[in-house]
C-alpha cells in the first residue's frame, strides 16, 4: 500500500508550478541554457542534485518524503506473486493497451512474462530495472529449449521506473495482440505469468540466472473492473474450517458441510471473499462452495472429511451445484448492484459444502488450517435474486475419454427442449447471465460455452483456451447475455490424455473428468441443471460390443458378447481395446454425433418432464471457428530512455507521495 506523504504538499506547490512552467518553456525552446536552468529548478524544488544525466530524475524521487509509487494512474487489479511478499503485480487497461506495474524487493533486475506451460520454454519475457540512474526495459523470448534471446520487435513500452535501497518498481504497457511471433496474445483465457528477479542488474551478457527467485501463477488479466464498493457496516458470516490437519503430502482436498445461519427475514449475499489463515497464502490453493440438498439433520455438520475418498459421507454427494469459486491469485466476488444471492427463504440453500484444495509441495508436517469464505449480506434487498444453472455433461461414467490423445473433445448440451420447457413456464422473456465458471479436471486444456438461437451461432458466452484446473473462478461477462426459450448451449471441453495409459471416465475424482459450465444469472427460476450424456451402447459398439446381460443387475454392467469381452464390465472392455491415435480420433467424431440423454432438473433433484428423453445434437461447425485477432498499433523500439516530459511528470508526482513498506 502507498501512504500519503508526510510533507506539507502545499509547501512545495509553488516549486512544482515552476517545474511545469519550465517544462512548457523547454518544449518551445530546447536549448542547453534553458535545460540547465530547469535542472537547477528541479534541484531546488526536490532538494535533490540532478546533474546532467536526465535519467537520474527517476532516482531523485526516491529520497525520503519524495518517492512515487508509480505513474500516479491507478490500476484496478493487484496480487502477490511469491510466497514471501517480495513480488507484487498490479495491472489494468490503459488507453487500449494493458498496463503492468511490478513492485519487487530487489535492487537488481525484475523479470516478468507469459508462458504456455508456466515454465521458461517458449515464453514471452520482459526484463527491466534501473542501472546507474538509467531505466531500462527489454523484450525477450525463449525457444523450446529455454534459450533466452532479445526480441527484434520491442513491444513493451516503459512508463515508469524507480529504485531505492530496497525496491525496484517498473511500470510498462503493451498491446493485447502484437502480431509478433515471439509474443503471446493476451485474451480472456487464463494466462500463466512467470516472474523472476536478481540482486544484480542486467549486464552486457544479458540477465544472470535467477536461481530460486522465480515462480509462476495463473491469472485472468482481462477481468472487467468491479466498481461497486461495500459499506464497512455490511454484516457477514464466515464459513471457515476449524483446525483442519493438513497431511504431509502434496495435494489434499478437504470437504466440510455447513449450515447457513438462521435468518429471520430474507437477505441478499452481495459479496463473497476468501478468508485465508495468515501464513497459509500459498497453502490454500482453491475453494469451492456447493449448494446441498435440504433434507438433512445437523449431524452431517459434525466432521469434515477428505473429498472424493471412498469413505466420504454420502451426504456430501448431494452437494453438486457450485455457487462460488475462488482460486489462489483470485479476488473476492461481488454481485452486480441489482442482483444478490438470496438467503432466509424456503427456496434458499440451507446446507452448503466447502471444498478446500491444499497444496503442500514441501510435505510440511503439523499444519492446521482455519481458512474459508466470508459472505457479506444485507436486508436491503436488491431487484433480482441470483440463480445458478449447471450446464454441460452430466457427471457419469458414460463420459468417456480414450488414453494417449493430445486433443479429445467432449460436448455437453443444455438442449433447446429443456430451455424451452423451463423458461416458457418460469420466465418466457428470458434470463440474464452475468458470470460463468468453466469447470473441468486435470486433463482439461480448454473450455468454451457456445450459444445457439434458431440454428444460428451467437458470440461465445465464455471461454478459456488455456484452462488451468488449479485456477478456477467465475468470469464476469463484459455485458450481460440473455438466454431465451428454445436457445441451445453447448459446453465444449478439450482434453489431453497423452500421459494416460487407461480410459478416463466422468466422475468426481480429479483423475476423473468433468465438462461443466456454471451460469450465474437473474432472475432465479426453478432450473438447476441443464445437461446431457451421450448414449453408452453406441459408444460400446465402436469397440465391437454386441450384447450386454439384461436385466442390468450390477454396476458397471457386464458384457455378454463378443467373446473377447465376455463377462467384462464395460469399463474393463473399454480399457482392453487397443486405442491408437487414429482410433481415438474416429471415436471422438462418432461420440460428438450421438443422440444424448437430456437432464433437466429442478431444485432438490425434482425433474422437468423432458428429463430422460433423447435428443439429437444440433448440426454445428466443428471445431469452433475462432475470430482472427486484431493487431494493436505499430510497435516501436525502446532505446533505453524515456521522454523528457514523461520523466519530469514522474518527478513531480514523486514529490506528493512517500515510499511505504511493500
Q: Is residue 501 part of a domain?
A: yes
Closest CA to 489 of 455, 449, 527, 518: 449
| Residue 502 burial (10 A CB sphere; 0-12, 13-18, 19+) | middle
Question: Residue 481 is part of which domain span?
Answer: 386-528
Domain containing residue 484: CATH number: 2.60.120.230
Tell whether the model's pLDDT for residue 348 goes beyond 70.
yes
pLDDT of res. 270: 95
Q: Is residue 484 part of a domain?
A: yes
- Residue 356 in contact with residue 372, Cβ under 8 Å? yes
Higher-confidence position of 119 and 633: 119
Q: How far apart are CA 495 and CA 512, in angstroms?
A: 12
* DSSP-derived secondary structure letter, 607: B
The catalytic position among 197, 253, 351, 358 is 253
pLDDT of res. 61: 37
pLDDT of res. 296: 77
Tell whether the model's pLDDT for residue 573 goes beyond 90.
yes
Same domain, 549 and 436: no
Tell whether the model's pLDDT for residue 432 goes beyond 90.
yes
Domain boundary among 528, 550, 577: 528
The residue whose grid cell reads 510466497 is: 83
Same domain, 546 and 427: no
Share of the chain above pLDDT 90, in %: 60
Q: How far apart are CA 281 and CA 128, in angstroms?
A: 27
pTM (two decimals): 0.81
Q: Is residue 467 part of a domain?
A: yes
Same domain, 153 and 183: yes
Domain boundary among 554, 569, 593: 593
Average pLDDT over residues 525-539: 94
Q: How far apart are CA 120 and CA 176, in angstroms?
A: 20
Cell of 268: 441478499
Same domain, 407 and 513: yes
Q: How far apart are CA 123 and CA 194, in angstroms?
A: 9
pLDDT of res. 407: 96
Cell of 596: 444424448
Tell whether the model's pLDDT for residue 51 goes beyond 50.
no
Closest CA to 354 of 376, 385, 375: 375
pLDDT of res. 585: 96
Same domain, 96 and 205: yes
Q: Give per-residue pLDDT as tens, 512-525.
A: 999 999 999 999 99
In the residue annotation, 439 being an active-site residue is answered as yes
Rg of the Cα atoms in the chain: 28
Strands 351-359 and 305-306: unpaired
Tell whether the model's pLDDT for residue 42 goes beyond 60.
no
Q: Is residue 364 part of a domain?
A: no
Q: How far apart are CA 130 and CA 149, in angstroms?
A: 20
Question: Worst-scoring range by mean pLDDT, 95-109, 325-339, 369-383, 460-474?
Answer: 325-339
Query: In 531-542, which positions are buried (b, 16+ CB within 10 angstroms) versus exposed (e)?
Result: bbbbebeebbeb
Q: Please give the biggest Cα pair distance in the chain.
A: 99
Same domain, 464 and 563: no
Question: Worst-scoring range by mean pLDDT, 43-57, 164-178, 570-584?
Answer: 43-57
Strands 547-548 and 529-534: unpaired
Closest CA to 188 of 521, 465, 492, 518: 465
Same domain, 445 and 579: no
pLDDT of res. 256: 94
Cis peptide before 523 (omega within 30 of 0): yes
3-state secondary structure at position 424: helix
Average pLDDT over residues 330-340: 88
180 pLDDT band (50/70/90 cuts)?
very high
pLDDT of res. 5: 29
Q: How far apart are CA 197 and CA 203, in angstroms?
A: 14
628 pLDDT band (50/70/90 cuts)?
confident
Domain containing residue 129: CATH number: 2.60.40.1210
Same domain, 460 and 542: no
Cell of 551: 436385466
11 pLDDT band (50/70/90 cuts)?
very low
Q: How far apart are CA 600 and CA 610, in angstroms?
A: 7
* DSSP-derived secondary structure letter, 317: G
∠ CA 478-483-489, nearest 5°, is 95
Q: Is residue 89 part of a domain?
A: yes
Average pLDDT over residues 164-180: 94
Query: Which DSSP helix (H) or strand (E) runs through 121?
Result: none
Tell whether the model's pLDDT for residue 425 goes beyond 50.
yes
- Residue 253 in contact with residue 244, Cβ under 8 Å? no
In the residue annotation, 432 being an active-site residue is answered as no
Cell of 319: 452437494
The residue whose grid cell reads 440423454 is: 597
Question: Worst-scoring range by mean pLDDT, 60-69, 194-203, 342-351, 385-394?
Answer: 60-69
Average pLDDT over residues 28-54: 42
pLDDT of res. 408: 97
Closest CA to 285 of 351, 358, 380: 358
Q: Is residue 504 part of a domain?
A: yes
Number of domains composing the chain: 3
**How distant, in Å, are the alpha carbons of 21, 28, 56, 654 from that of 36?**
14, 15, 14, 21
Same domain, 470 and 486: yes
Tell whether the model's pLDDT for residue 55 goes beyond 50.
no
Same domain, 86 and 214: yes
Domain boundary among 219, 243, 272: 219
**Mean pLDDT across the chain:** 83
Tell whether the model's pLDDT for residue 386 goes beyond 70.
yes
- Residue 505 in contact with residue 395, Cβ under 8 Å? no
Q: How far apart are CA 406 and CA 503, in angstroms?
A: 14
Tell whether the model's pLDDT for residue 644 goes beyond 70.
no
pLDDT of res. 44: 39
10 pLDDT band (50/70/90 cuts)?
very low
Q: Is residue 308 part of a domain?
A: no
The catalytic position among 267, 285, 357, 439 is 439
Average pLDDT over residues 133-142: 94
Q: Give per-residue pLDDT as tens, 59-99.
A: 333 333 223 456 677 898 888 998 888 999 999 999 889 99
Same domain, 194 and 123: yes
- Residue 191 in contact with residue 118, Cβ under 8 Å? no
Higher-confidence position of 359 and 594: 594
The dihedrals phi and psi of 450, each to the nearest 5 degrees, come to -95, 150
Higher-confidence position of 647 and 204: 204
Tell whether the model's pLDDT for residue 643 goes beyond 50.
no
Q: Give per-residue pLDDT as tens, 553-568.
A: 888 999 999 999 999 9
Question: Worst-scoring range by mean pLDDT, 53-62, 114-123, 171-180, 261-270?
Answer: 53-62
Average pLDDT over residues 450-462: 95
pLDDT of res. 228: 59
Q: How far apart are CA 376 and CA 272, in angstroms?
A: 6
627 pLDDT band (50/70/90 cuts)?
confident
Q: How far apart are CA 365 and CA 362, in angstroms?
A: 9
| Residue 380 burial (10 A CB sphere; 0-12, 13-18, 19+) | exposed
The residue whose grid cell reads 490437519 is: 245
Q: Is residue 520 part of a domain?
A: yes
229 pLDDT band (50/70/90 cuts)?
low
pLDDT of res. 302: 72
Same domain, 568 and 523: no
Amino acid at each position: 500500500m502507498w501512504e500519503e506523504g508526510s510533507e506539507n504538499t502545499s509547501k512545495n506547490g509553488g516549486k512544482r508550478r515552476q517545474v511545469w512552467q519550465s517544462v512548457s518553456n523547454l518544449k518551445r525552446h530546447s536549448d542547453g541554457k534553458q535545460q540547465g536552468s530547469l535542472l537547477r529548478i528541479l534541484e531546488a524544488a526536490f532538494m535533490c542534485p540532478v546533474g546532467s544525466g536526465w535519467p537520474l530524475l527517476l532516482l531523485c524521487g526516491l529520497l525520503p518524503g519524495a518517492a512515487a509509487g508509480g505513474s500516479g494512474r491507478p490500476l484496478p487489479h493487484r496480487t502477490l506473486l511469491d510466497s514471501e511478499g517480495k513480488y507484487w503485480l498490479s495491472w489494468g487497461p490503459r488507453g487500449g493497451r494493458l498496463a503492468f506495474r511490478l513492485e519487487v524487493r530487489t535492487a537488481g533486475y525484475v523479470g516478468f512474462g507469459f508462458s504456455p506451460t508456466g515454465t521458461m520454454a517458449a515464453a514471452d519475457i520482459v526484463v527491466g530495472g534501473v542501472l546507474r540512474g538509467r531505466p531500462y526495459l527489454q523484450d525477450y523470448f525463449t525457444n523450446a529449449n529455454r534459450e533466452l534471446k532479445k526480441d527484434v520487435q520491442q513491444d513493451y513500452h516503459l512508463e515508469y521506473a524507480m529504485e531505492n535501497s530496497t525496491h525496484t518498481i517498473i511500470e510498462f504497457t503493451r498491446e493485447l495482440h502484437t502480431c509478433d511471433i515471439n509474443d503471446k496474445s493476451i485474451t480472456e483465457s487464463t494466462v500463466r505469468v512467470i516472474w523472476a528477479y536478481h540482486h544484480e542488474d542486467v549486464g552486457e551478457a544479458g540477465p544472470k540466472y535467477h536461481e530460486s527467485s522465480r515462480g509462476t501463477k495463473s491469472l485472468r488479466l482481462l477481468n472487467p473492473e468491479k466498481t461497486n464498493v461495500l459499506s464497512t457496516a455490511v454484516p457477514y458470516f464466515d464459513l471457515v474450517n476449524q483446525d483442519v490437519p493438513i497431511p504431509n503430502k502434496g495435494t489434499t482436498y478437504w470437504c466440510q458441510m455447513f449450515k447457513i445461519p438462521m435468518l429471520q427475514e430474507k437477505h441478499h449475499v452481495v459479496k463473497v471473499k476468501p478468508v485465508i489463515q495468515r501464513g497459509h497464502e500459498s497453502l490454500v490453493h482453491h475453494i469451492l462452495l456447493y449448494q446441498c440438498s435440504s433434507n438433512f439433520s445437523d449431524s452431517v455438520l459434525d466432521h469434515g472429511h477428505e473429498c472424493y475418498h471412498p469413505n466420504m459421507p454420502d451426504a456430501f454427494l448431494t452437494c453438486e451445484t457450485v455457487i462460488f469459486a475462488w482460486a489462489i491469485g483470485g479476488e473476492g466476488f461481488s454481485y452486480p448492484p441489482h442482483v444478490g444471492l438470496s438467503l432466509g427463504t424456503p427456496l434458499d440453500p440451507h446446507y452448503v459444502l466447502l471444498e478446500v484444495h491444499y497444496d503442500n509441495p514441501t510435505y510440511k508436517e503439523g499444519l492446521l488450517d482455519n481458512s474459508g469464505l466470508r459472505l457479506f449480506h444485507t436486508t436491503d434487498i436488491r431487484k433480482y435474486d441470483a440463480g445458478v444453472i449447471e450446464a454441460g455433461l452430466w457427471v457419469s461414467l458414460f463420459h468417456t475419454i480414450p488414453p494417449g490423445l493430445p486433443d479429445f473433445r467432449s460436448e455437453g448440451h443444455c438442449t433447446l427442449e429443456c430451455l424451452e420447457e423451463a423458461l416458457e413456464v418460469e420466465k418466457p422473456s428470458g434470463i440474464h447471465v452475468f458470470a460463468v465458471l468453466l469447470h473441468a479436471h486435470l486433463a482439461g486444456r480448454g473450455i468454451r460455452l457456445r450459444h445457439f438461437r434458431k440454428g444460428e451461432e451467437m458470440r461465445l458466452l465464455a471461454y478459456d483456451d488455456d484452462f488451468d484446473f488449479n485456477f478456477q473462478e467465475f468470469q464476469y461477462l463484459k455485458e450481460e447475455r440473455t438466454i431465451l426459450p428454445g436457445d441451445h448451449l453447448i459446453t465444449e471441453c478439450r482434453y489431453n490424455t497423452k500421459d494416460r495409459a487407461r480410459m478416463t471416465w466422468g466422475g468426481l475424482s480429479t483423475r476423473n473428468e468433468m465438462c461443466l459450465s456454471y451460469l450465474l444469472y437473474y432472475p432465479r427460476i426453478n432450473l438447476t441443471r441443464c445437461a446431457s450424456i451421450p448414449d453408452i451402447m453406441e459408444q460400446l459398439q465402436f469397440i465391437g460390443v454386441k450384447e450386454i446381460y439384461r436385466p442390468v443387475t450390477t454396476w458397471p454392467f457386464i458384457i455378454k458378447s463378443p467373446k473377447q469381452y465376455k463377462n467384462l464390465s464395460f469399463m474393463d472392455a473399454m480399457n482392453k481395446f487397443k486405442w491408437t491415435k487414429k482410433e481415438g480420433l474416429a471415436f471422438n467424431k462418432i461420440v460428438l454425433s450421438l443422440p444424448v440423454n437430456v437432464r433437466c432438473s429442478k431444485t432438490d433433484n425434482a425433474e422437468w418432464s423432458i428429463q430422460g428423453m433423447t435428443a439429437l445434437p444440433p448440426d454445428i461447425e466443428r471445431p469452433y471457428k475462432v475470430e482472427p485477432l486484431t493487431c494493436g498499433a505499430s510497435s516501436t523500439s525502446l532505446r533505453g530512455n524515456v521522454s523528457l516530459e514523461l520523466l519530469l511528470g514522474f518527478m513531480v508526482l514523486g514529490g506528493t507521495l512517500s515510499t511505504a513498506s511493500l
